[in-house]
Chain A
Amino acid sequence: MKSITSQRHGRRAFLRGVGTVSIGLPLLDVFTPRKVRAADMPRCAVFVRQGNGVAQAGNGEPERFWPKNLGALTQASMEADSDRALKELAMYADKLLLVRGTRFAFGANGCGHSGGGNQVLTAAKVSTDPSGQHSLSMGESVDNRMAAAINPEGREPITLLTGDTQGYLPVVLSYRGPKQLRGADNDPFAVYMRMTGLSGMDSAVVEQVSTRRKSVNDLLREQFKQLLGRTDLSTEDRRRLELHRSAIREVEVKLSCSLPEMRQRDLDGINAVNGDNYVKVTEMHMDVIALAFACDYSRVATLQMGQGNDGTQFSIPGYRNGEKLPRFHQISHRIYSDGSEGDPIEGAQEMHHEIDKLHARLFRYLLDKLASYSLPTGSLLDQSVAAWTNDLGHGVSHNYENIPWVLAGSAGGYLKQGQYIDAGKVTHNQLFNTLLNAVGVRKADGSLVDDFGDPSLRGGQIAGMLA
């Protein structure tokens, strides 16, 4: 096998992205058009989470989210269901896998939003202590398991948030382990800069910096050896110091892997915590995630859109003259409207529906970005699975039934496409087993994963999801 270096100067297989600079990938071995099957290429997963549930059937309200009929999806059929939020994804019909009929297994411990947030990516129990809005998950999240198995250089998954990192319930999704909530980054420019690092610099300079870093890292590792050799460390201190120590690494510097200059300036200039920038910031996060996949910086990402009980006030162009709506959380409860005349409950459900459509369009933006990177076998979207989900099913009741799972991409051919299925009221750990297998994670003995999440849950995959 030729070395990476010589291949860089030889025939290059580029990932060409629409509207981005051509990127020379270090994964050339894997992406060159020799006899390579889609199943051998790296596969990626991104989870995008909306809060407050969706406007679907329940509590006396009609169905406004899911398509009318289970079964095959076509662009025509999705457009025909014009009163349903998912019609916004009609052009991706042949790549969608909609899964209804999954639920969270466990009750909340005092706060419905928190209990939902604890479970949405973990399928683990909710802590008894702490409780209320501080409750935590008792297990790792699916992105953590995926990243540990498939990410290059043992990188942690990318963990992003649209919104403020302070508040009542700011960060909910990603867990390293029981009660070990991972912080999320809310500034897309900072994430981008960290990711692209030294790329774009002169290779001689890069070489020098890398050598210096190695010397400094060696010194740091020696210090940690001393520290971790102490016998008086508590379990918690040892865990924390070990986490720090394992973060010290020499990172392979990618070739130019970047966003266009103008886009970089957009990212640099935006105020990432201002609620008015919700859509723009979310799109920027999505640019960064797609780039991370394309450059093989990471193969796993989560994006939490809005805080735990998202109180964003949306203004949607074309809807009610673009006026600022009441807080999303209040809308989801159908109460405390702006007090105007008329039937507030009806208005609130429609607002919720419009907000669902806005998020569908945001999900479409992500799919567009992934699809814009073409590979010999299709596109980056085909090699991935993008999942749009929610930590509640129906906002008003804060219930955990019929969690909306909107999947796109087959993860290299593993997942069924163009279908809307009913999983049959199963717990959603089974969906995670399926996705874990889809991106190539296996159990230690090489068999398919069937046991993610709390051990008390019935395991296995959801057969209807398999290609």
Chain B
Amino acid sequence: MRASFFRDLSLGTLSALLLACTGYVTGPGGDSAGLGSATGGPNGQAPAAGSGGPSSGGSGSAAVGGKQEALETVPASSAYPRLSHHQWSLAAQDLLQLDAPPDVANFSKDAPSATGFDNTAVSLEVSQTLWQDYQRASETLAASVASDMGKLTKLLPPGFPSGDAARPKAFVASLGERAFRRPLTAAEEQLFVGLYQQGSTLFPGRDALSAGAELTIQALLQSPQFIYRPENANPPDASRIAPLSDSEIAVRLSFMLWDAPPDQQLLAAGKSNALHTPEQIGAQVTRMLLDKRAEEKLLEFHRQLLELRRYDSLSPMGLPAGIGETLRSETEQFVRAALIAKPGTFADLLTASYSFVNRDTASLYGLTGSFGTELVRTELKPEQRAGILTQPGFLISHAGDTAPILRGVFVNLKLLCAELPPPPVFTPPKMNGTTRRERIDSITGKGTCGEGCHANLINPAGFPLEYFDNLGRYRTEDSGKPIDGKASYTFSDGAQEIDGPVEWARAIATSQQAHACYVRHWLEFGLGRAYAKEDAALVERIAKASQDEEKSVVQLLSLLAESPSFRTRKSEAK
């Protein structure tokens, strides 16, 4: 290899990269120095715990006892997280009582986030272009509602006055409270009433209610209190930590479980200060998890974590057009069945030996029998198939000559949260060998410069899946040689020997590392911020419940919502 390939990397950096690949991973309780992009996001602020050393008990009112919970603290986060586009759409639908959420596909796209989720607050800003989109959407929605008496009546509070004099305040107070998820202040009310009253001038010829309503709706949808979910009610203590108000807890809860604003019950609980103990929160959570919106949220989490939208554009040779959407639908239905139809666990996702099959995918599963166009729940061969890692959508979207590496990287990053330093800049040599495994080994295995990262982490995560070809079909041979699906993977608590996909799925499903990783992702997606060092104790506690007590995924969400850190926020630096 020519020296020029290392021009971009000093030898010191390169050897550091190789050292970093010797089985080191982040895990609960372990040294979390390698969190990299997980801390603080693009503005580069130092991890909060490192600056000023707050007392570790700073998690607000830990009403429930237990030494473990007292150690749980919270990293700094924004006091004004912006709604994601999806959340804005659901919030607008809720506010205006629309039949369907407004289409926001054309909203200006947010910059990508290191978490991979679309709702990480540090990446969500209101740029000029997005503001224009909010303005246009607000005007369109307001016009459509205000010009239709049937739609407008739905927004009027009970006992809405008949006289024009009292109407502005009644309309503004009622709709404003639902828009801001808390009662308007007197000053805010005055501002909006003033705008409402300009209705006759700004909409000449229109009746006062219709005109005033249209203006009010436009302004509410563009208000920062609608676009963001402020967490600024209570002042922070000396360690910059403040308890959320009950109304703020209501908002956090509803966006975490529903991606939508609080309903009347939740709003009322917040308003009457009946939403700050774990029991009070737990009761609401139980109710909320039964709602269809929670189902949608669970599905959306897996869509984003497992990158299911990538399946849509799959068009492998030999399979019918539109197969990508079928494969996505299969995994979505699987998630529904495994986690929602009955409260399933993380382990179920990885080990269940059924899926949803139709006539286009039956051959991929080696199934005979009559299938139609509908996907139907079907038992699979338990010695071949286990959960999401053996579904064709995943296998096909990570296929080709380097499939073991693609699949291995996915498992490491998405399911095990293993820190993988990116590959150094160089040209790999030509591959040698007959089977795909041999060829990958020839350029990344022992004796190559890729050995450090590939031998312990990447390749062993992909080799057990070599029993599946590029179309996700089970095979026992590759180019005339028997499949070698054995591997040794170095988990955070030690190496394990694996043979084949089912053993691999079980090993992941029973590992501390995978449960912690899954919980960590839920923390990120549920709270809309990146995981940080301060979250380690909380994640460890919930992961233990998932792994040792086999708590279901919805129970994990309850634990997250009932935690002390859920009820607090730490301010960022001034």
Residues of A within 8 A of B (CB): 59, 107-108, 110-112, 114-115, 127, 129-134, 136, 155-156, 165-167, 170-171, 178-187, 189-190, 193-194, 197, 208-209, 211-213, 215-216, 219-220, 222-224, 226-227, 230, 232-237, 239-241, 243-244, 247-249, 251, 273-275, 333-336, 339, 396-400
Of all chain B residues, the one with the shortest Cβ separation from A178 is B44
**Cβ–Cβ contact A129 & B39, under 8 A:** yes
Known: A181-B42, A232-B232, A232-B235. A134 touches B36 (CB 8 A): yes
Provide the main secondary structure of the chain B interface: loop
Contact B222 A194 (CB under 8 A): no
Task: Please determine whether A233 and B79 come into contact, CB atoms closer than 8 angstroms.
Answer: yes
CB pair B135–A243 under 8 Å, yes or no, is no
Further 9 A-B residue pairs, CB within 8 A, beyond A111-B422, A171-B112, A236-B43: A156-B128, A166-B112, A212-B203, A215-B215, A216-B215, A216-B222, A333-B428, A397-B427, A399-B4
User: Are B112 and A165 in contact (CB-based, < 8 A)?
Assistant: yes
Interface pairs (30), CB distance under 8 Å: A107-B8, A112-B8, A134-B114, A165-B109, A179-B43, A182-B111, A183-B109, A197-B132, A208-B202, A215-B202, A215-B215, A216-B195, A216-B215, A216-B218, A216-B222, A222-B191, A223-B223, A232-B571, A233-B574, A234-B78, A236-B78, A244-B126, A274-B313, A333-B427, A335-B431, A336-B400, A336-B401, A336-B402, A397-B427, A399-B4
On whether the beta carbons of B111 and A236 are closer than 8 Å, the reply is no
Say yes or no for B342: interface residue by CB 8 A criterion: no
B129 within 8 A of A: yes
Instruction: Decide if A110 touches B421 in the complex (CB within 8 Å).
Output: yes
**CB atoms of A244 and B109 under 8 A apart:** no
Q: Within the complex, what minimum Cβ distance (angstroms) separates A58 from chain B?
A: 9
B44's nearest neighbour on chain A, judged by CB, is A179
Chain B: minimal CB distance from A454 (Å): 16
B133 in contact (CB, < 8 A): yes
The answer to whether B425 touches A127 (Cβ under 8 A) is no
Does residue B177 face the partner (Cβ distance < 8 Å to A)? no
Minimum C-beta distance from B230 to chain A (A) = 8
CB-CB under 8 A from A178, the residues of chain B are: 44
- B402 proximity list for chain A (CB < 8 A): 336
B112 contacts A170, C-beta separation under 8 Å: yes
B interface residues (Cβ-Cβ under 8 A, vs A): 4-5, 7-10, 17, 36-37, 39, 42-45, 76, 78-80, 105-112, 114, 122, 125-133, 135-136, 139, 187-188, 191-192, 194-195, 198, 202-203, 215, 218-219, 222-225, 227, 232, 235-236, 307, 309, 313, 400-402, 421-423, 425, 427-428, 430-431, 571-574
The reply to whether B128 and A155 contact each other, CB–CB distance below 8 Å, is yes
Are A247 and B44 in contact, with the CB atoms below 8 A? no
A181 / chain B contacts, CB cutoff of 8 Å = 42, 111-112
CB of B183 to closest CB in A, whole Å: 16
Closest B residue to A133 using CB positions? B422
> Which of B131, B225, B574 has a CB less than 8 Å from the CB of A223?
B225
**CA gap between A400 and B4 in the complex, in Å:** 11
| Cβ contacts under 8 Å, A185 to chain B | 108-109, 129
Asked if B219 contacts A220 (CB within 8 A), the reply is yes
Chain A residue with the shortest CB-CB distance to B427: A396
For the complex, give the distance between the alpha carbons of A241 and B236 in Å: 20
Residue pair A112, B131 in contact (C-beta under 8 Å): no
Interface centre among B7, B131, B400, B422 (most CB of A within 10 A): B422
Assembled-state Cα–Cα distance A302/B132 (Å):
19
Expressed in whole angstroms, the Cα–Cα distance for A251 and B225 within the complex equals 23
Do A237 and B108 form a contact, CB below 8 Å, given A127-B44, A219-B195?
no
Residues of chain A contacted by B195 (CB below 8 angstroms): 215-216, 219
**Nearest CB on B from A228, distance (A):** 10
3 smallest CB-CB distances across A and B, nearest first, come from: A130-B37, A234-B572, A190-B106
The smallest beta-carbon distance between B411 and chain A, in angstroms, is: 16
Q: What is the CB-to-nearest-CB distance from A205 to chain B, in angstroms, rounded to a whole number?
A: 12
Closest Cβ neighbor of A220 among chain B residues: B222
CA A166 to CA B236, docked complex, whole Å: 36
Q: Which residue of A lies closest to B304 (CB)?
A: A166
Residues in A whose Cβ lies below 8 Å from that of B309? 166
Is there contact, CB below 8 Å, between A230 and B232?
yes
Known: A107-B8, A234-B78, A234-B571. A180 touches B425 (CB 8 A): no
What is the minimal beta-carbon distance from B270 to any residue of chain A, in angstroms?
Answer: 21
Q: Which partner residue on chain B sits nearest A191 by CB separation?
A: B129
**Which B residues lie within 8 Å of A166 (CB)?**
112, 307, 309
Q: How far is the CB of A183 from chain B (nearest CB, A)?
A: 4
A186 near B401 with CB under 8 A, answer no
Residues of A within 8 A of B131 (CB): 244, 247-248
Would B573 and A235 count as touching, CB distance under 8 A?
Answer: yes
Name the contact of B572 in the complex, choosing from A110, A213, A236, A396 (C-beta under 8 A): A236
Say which residue of B43, B194, B573 sits within 8 Å of A180 (CB atoms). Answer: B43
> Nearest Cβ in chain A — how far from B400, in angstroms?
7
Minimum distance in angstroms from B123 CB to a CB of chain A: 8
A180 and B131 CA atoms in complex are apart in Å by 18
Contact B425 A108 (CB under 8 A): yes
| Contact of A115 (CB < 8 Å), options: B8, B130, B202, B400 | B8
| B112 to A, closest residue via Cβ | A170
In the bound complex, do residue A334 and residue B127 qualify as a contact, i.e. CB atoms below 8 Å apart?
Answer: no
One of A59, A130, A187 near B36 (C-beta < 8 A): A130
Task: Give Cα distance in the complex from A212 to B131, angstroms.
Answer: 16
* Cβ–Cβ < 8 Å partners of B203 in chain A: 212
Cβ contacts under 8 Å, A131 to chain B: 36-37, 421-422
**A186, A233, A249, A274 interface centre (most CB from chain B within 10 Å):** A233
Which among B129, B307, B421 is the interface contact of A156 at CB below 8 angstroms?
B129
CA distance A165 to B215 in the complex (A): 34
Q: Choose among B78, B110, B307, B573 the residue that contacts A240 (Cβ–Cβ < 8 A).
A: B78
CA distance A178 to B232 in the complex (A): 27
Inter-chain contacts of B133 with A (CB < 8 A): 194
